[in-house]
C-alpha cells in the first residue's frame, strides 16, 4: 500500500523545435504586486490526441493545467464554449484573430500520444495572442502513464513561470498529518499528497500521535515527531521505502519540532529536559549533538535560512512568545518581532527574503509574513485558529492549518498567497503541512 510516490519517472524532457522568444521581452506578463490583480484570461483547448485511446488523457491534462493556473489566482480559463477556433493539429497555424475575439491573452496548445510500452508523451506550446507569437519554446515531456498529473503540473509550471517570471510550484508534494475523529480522541497519521490534494498516500498508521512532518531539502526524507514510545520523540522516514528510524536521544528527555538544515545532514529541534526546552542540532551522519540555546525559557520552532547560516526560532524569554534570529551555531539571538500579540512557528522563505509566522492577538490567530529585520509585517489570514505555515517552493504561496472551533471542530489545510489573496481550502482533515521542493 505504501508504495514509492515518485512513481512518475521522467525519462525525457527536451526542447521542441521552434524559435525561442525571450519571455522577459514579451508584452504578456503578470507582475505580482500588492495591488489588485485581474486574472489573466487564457484559452486551453483540449490537447490533440495523436494516438488512438489518448482522448481521455488529452481532456484530463487540460483540466489539471487549467485548475493549476486558475488555482494560483493569477489566471482565468476561458470556457471552451466561447472558442471560435478548434485546435485539431499541434503544428497547425494559430488563428490569432479567433483567440483575440474572445480576449484570450494566452493560448496553450498541446498534444498527447501513448507508446506501446505504457509511456505517454506530452507536448505543448504557449502563445502570446495579442503579440501574435510563441512565448518561449515548446516543451515535450515523456513519462509513465500513471504520472500524467505530474506532466500536467509541469506544463502549468512552465506557463506560470513564463508569464509571471516567478519560480514554479505546481509539480510539488505536501506531507502533512491526516486527522480523523473528535478532538479528544483524534487519530493522526502521516500522509503525503500532491500540492493540489491528489494522490494521497499514508506513511504511518494511526496507532500513535504524530506531529509536524518536515521534508528534507531534496524531498527524499521526512522528519516528524511520534509518541510511539509513549513520549514525544523524533523520527526520520525515507519516503521511497517508508522505513523509519528514531534519532539518537538523551535518556529522560523529550524532543520535537525538528527541521532539516539546507545541507540535508543536520537537524535542528527542540529538546525538553525537566521544565526547560532549548534548541539543539544533531548531525545525522556522525550523531554529534550540539546545544544552540541555553536559557531557562522556552526556545522552539527553529527554521534555517536557505543558505544555512542562520536560524529563526521562537522564545518566550521576553515574557511572551517572540521571534528571534541567531547564528546557525548558536550565540546571542536578535529579536525581530515587536508588534502586538505573540509570535510563533517562524519559517524562513525559500527565497530568503521573508519569514512566515503564526500570530496570536486578541483571541484570534493569524498567518503573517515579515522581513527578517521585523519590518513590513503583513497579516494574511485571521480566524479562530490558524497556525503552522509552510512555503511553496517558489516562496509565493503559503499553506497552513486552520482549526475550526467548538466540540465538532476539525482541521483543514488552507493556502494563501503572500499578498493575502486567493485563500482556499486544500484538504479537509489535515494539519501541519510541509511543502516539498519542486520535484525533479
| Residue 203 Cβ vs other proteins, minimum distance, rounded to whole Å | 19
Which cell goes with 272?
525538553
| Residue 414 Cβ vs other proteins, minimum distance, rounded to whole Å | 16
- Name the residue nearer to other proteins (CB basis): 118 or 252: 252
- Name the residue nearer to other proteins (CB basis): 105 or 270: 270
- Name the residue nearer to other proteins (CB basis): 70 or 360: 360
| Residue 413 Cβ vs other proteins, minimum distance, rounded to whole Å | 14
| Residue 299 Cβ vs other proteins, minimum distance, rounded to whole Å | 8
Cβ atoms of 393 and 439 closer than 8 Å = no
| Residue 321 Cβ vs other proteins, minimum distance, rounded to whole Å | 6
- Between CA 210 and CA 202 the distance in angstroms is 12
Which cell goes with 13?
524532457
- Name the residue nearer to other proteins (CB basis): 321 or 381: 321
Which residues 6+ apart lie within 8 Å of 246 measured at CB?
A: 228, 229, 233, 234, 235
Which residues 6+ apart lie within 8 Å of 227 measured at CB?
A: 208, 209, 210, 233
| Residue 274 Cβ vs other proteins, minimum distance, rounded to whole Å | 5
- Between CA 311 and CA 86 the distance in angstroms is 54
Instruction: List the alpha helices (DSSP H) in 225-358.
Output: none
Using CB under 8 A as the criterion, which residues of the chain lie in contact with other proteins when the complex forms?
Answer: 182-186, 209, 211-212, 230-232, 252, 254, 256-257, 270, 272, 274-275, 277, 298, 300-301, 314, 316, 321, 344-345, 358, 360, 363, 384-385, 387-388, 403, 405-407, 409, 432
- Name the residue nearer to other proteins (CB basis): 162 or 359: 359
- Name the residue nearer to other proteins (CB basis): 338 or 384: 384
Residue 152 CB-density burial (10 A; 0-12 exposed, 13-18 middle, 19+ buried): buried
Closest CA to 381 of 429, 415, 346: 415
Which pairs with CB-CB distance under 8 Å and at least 24 residues apart come from 243-247?
244/204, 247/282, 247/284
| Residue 213 Cβ vs other proteins, minimum distance, rounded to whole Å | 12
- Name the residue nearer to other proteins (CB basis): 105 or 226: 226
Which cell goes with 35?
495591488
Q: Cα separations (Å) of 149 from 136, 197, 331, 385, 398?
A: 22, 12, 46, 33, 22
Cβ atoms of 333 and 317 closer than 8 Å = no
Q: Got the DSSP string for 193-206?
A: EETTS-S-EESS-S
| Residue 431 Cβ vs other proteins, minimum distance, rounded to whole Å | 8
- Name the residue nearer to other proteins (CB basis): 22 or 407: 407
- Name the residue nearer to other proteins (CB basis): 76 or 364: 364
| Residue 10 Cβ vs other proteins, minimum distance, rounded to whole Å | 36
Amino acid at each position: 500500500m505504501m508504495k514509492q510516490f515518485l512513481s512518475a519517472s521522467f525519462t525525457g524532457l527536451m526542447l521542441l523545435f521552434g524559435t525561442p522568444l525571450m519571455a522577459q521581452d514579451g508584452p504578456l506578463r503578470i507582475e505580482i504586486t500588492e495591488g489588485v490583480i485581474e486574472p489573466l484570461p487564457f484559452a486551453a483547448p483540449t490537447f490533440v490526441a495523436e494516438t488512438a485511446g489518448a482522448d481521455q488523457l488529452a481532456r484530463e491534462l487540460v483540466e489539471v493545467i487549467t485548475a493549476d493556473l486558475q488555482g494560483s489566482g493569477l489566471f482565468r480559463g476561458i470556457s471552451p464554449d466561447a472558442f471560435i477556433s478548434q485546435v485539431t493539429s499541434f503544428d497547425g497555424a494559430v488563428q490569432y484573430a479567433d483567440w483575440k475575439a474572445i480576449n484570450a491573452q494566452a493560448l496553450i496548445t498541446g498534444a498527447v500520444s501513448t507508446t506501446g510500452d505504457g509511456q505517454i508523451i506530452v507536448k505543448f506550446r504557449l502563445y502570446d495572442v495579442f503579440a501574435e507569437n510563441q512565448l518561449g519554446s515548446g516543451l515535450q515531456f515523456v513519462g509513465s502513464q500513471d504520472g500524467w498529473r505530474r506532466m500536467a503540473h509541469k506544463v502549468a509550471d512552465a506557463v506560470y513561470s513564463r508569464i509571471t517570471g516567478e519560480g514554479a510550484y505546481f509539480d510539488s508534494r505536501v506531507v502533512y498529518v491526516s486527522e480523523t475523529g473528535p478532538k479528544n480522541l483524534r487519530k493522526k497519521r502521516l500522509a503525503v499528497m500532491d500540492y493540489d490534494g491528489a494522490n494521497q498516500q499514508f506513511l504511518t498508521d494511526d496507532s500513535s500521535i504524530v506531529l509536524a512532518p518536515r521534508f528534507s531539502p531534496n524531498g527524499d526524507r521526512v522528519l516528524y515527531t511520534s509518541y510511539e514510545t509513549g513520549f514525544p520523540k523524533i523520527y526520520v522516514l525515507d519516503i521511497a521505502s517508508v522505513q523509519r528510524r528514531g534519532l539518537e536521544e538523551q535518556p529522560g528527555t523529550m524532543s520535537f519540532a525538528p527541521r532539516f538544515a539546507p545541507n540535508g545532514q543536520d537537524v535542528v529541534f527542540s529538546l525538553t529536559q525537566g521544565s526547560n526546552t532549548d534548541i539543539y542540532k544533531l548531525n545525522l551522519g556522525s550523531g554529534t549533538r550540539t546545544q544552540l540555546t541555553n536559557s531557562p525559557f522556552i526556545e522552539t520552532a527553529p527554521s534555517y535560512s536557505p543558505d544555512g547560516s542562520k536560524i529563526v526560532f521562537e522564545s518566550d524569554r521576553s515574557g511572551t512568545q517572540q521571534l528571534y534570529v541567531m547564528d546557525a551555531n548558536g550565540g546571542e539571538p536578535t529579536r525581530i518581532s515587536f508588534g502586538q500579540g505573540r509570535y510563533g512557528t517562524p519559517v524562513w522563505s525559500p527565497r530568503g527574503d521573508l519569514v512566515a509566522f503564526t500570530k496570536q492577538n486578541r483571541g484570534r490567530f493569524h498567518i503573517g509574513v515579515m522581513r527578517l529585520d521585523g519590518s513590513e509585517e503583513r497579516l494574511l489570514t485571521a480566524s479562530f485558529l490558524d497556525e503552522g505555515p509552510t512555503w511553496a517552493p517558489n516562496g509565493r504561496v503559503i499553506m497552513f492549518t486552520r482549526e475550526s472551533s467548538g466540540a465538532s471542530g476539525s482541521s483543514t489545510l488552507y493556502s494563501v498567497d503572500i499578498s493575502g489573496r486567493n485563500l482556499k481550502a486544500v484538504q479537509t482533515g489535515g494539519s501541519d503541512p510541509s511543502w516539498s521542493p519542486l520535484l525533479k
